[in-house]
């Protein structure tokens, strides 16, 4: 007998369904909207067991959305978003830290970048910057922010524009070079 099963069913409007002892206990469609859910995991929030997950709209290799915390009644008790001049968070990271005082989130942000060494000279070049934030759970202030472009030279990447399904062309903001 399966104790916990999580899956996405493209044929049904119930995008995320959780079964416990083969009985439906929660479906997030009506409560949390028609967005994709990723990274569902049990977490402790303010001393009580909860479920944490990311929820957002899927793009091409990344997404835009927010973190969600559900209580024991599967009601949303908290949402978490990136802070400041950063695009909405990505599905690759949404973690409540073990001390329950901060959230770790990731975001992929398109930024203009000189790609003339790759022959992109007729237009502004674009790259996808990987950003991490540690956010205070009480007042939503950013305690730490890290940007890949400040630490990783794109020219050292093994992935070049148009070299994979998700590497992007680098020629427009909707198709930035994802050098990470």
Tell me the two tokens of residue 12. Answer: 């049904």
pTM, 2 dp:
0.77
pLDDT of residue 41: 85
Which residues pair with residue 175 across a beta bridge? none
- Of 104, 106, 102, the closest CA to residue 89 belongs to 106
* Local mean pLDDT, 10-residue blocks, the chain (180 residues): 44 45 53 70 88 85 88 88 93 89 93 89 89 92 96 90 85 89
Q: How many Cα neighbours within 13 Å face the side chain of 50?
A: 21
End-to-end Cα distance, the chain: 41
pLDDT at 34: 60
Which residues, other chains included, contact 6 with Cβ-Cβ below 8 Å and sequence gap of 6+? 16, 17, 18, 40
Phi, psi of 94 (to 5 degrees): -150, 105
Every domain of the chain and the residues it spans: 1-34
Contacts 24+ apart (CB under 8 A), 28-31: 28/55, 28/74, 31/74, 31/75, 31/76
How far is CA 133 from its chain centroid?
A: 12
Please tell me whether residue 3 adopts helix, strand or coil conformation: coil
CA atoms within 13 A on the CB side of 5: 12
Cβ atoms < 10 Å from Cβ of 173: 12
């Amino acid at each position: 007998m399966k104790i916990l099963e999580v899956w996405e069913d493209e044929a049904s409007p119930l995008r995320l369904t959780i079964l416990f002892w083969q009985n439906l206990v929660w479906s997030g469609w009506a409560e949390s909207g028609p967005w994709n859910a990723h990274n569902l995991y049990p977490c402790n929030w303010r001393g009580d067991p909860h479920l944490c997950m990311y929820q957002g709209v899927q793009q091409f290799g990344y997404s835009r959305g927010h973190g969600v915390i559900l209580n024991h009644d599967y009601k949303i008790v908290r949402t978490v978003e990136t802070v400041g001049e950063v695009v909405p968070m990505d599905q690759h990271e949404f973690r409540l830290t073990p001390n329950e005082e901060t959230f770790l989130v990731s975001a992929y942000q398109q930024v203009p970048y000189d790609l003339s060494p790759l022959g992109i000279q007729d237009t502004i070049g674009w790259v996808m910057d990987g950003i991490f934030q540690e956010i205070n759970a009480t007042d939503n202030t950013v305690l730490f922010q890290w940007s890949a472009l400040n630490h990783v030279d794109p020219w050292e990447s093994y992935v070049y524009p148009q070299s994979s399904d998700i590497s992007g062309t680098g020629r427009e903001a909707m198709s930035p070079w994802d050098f990470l």
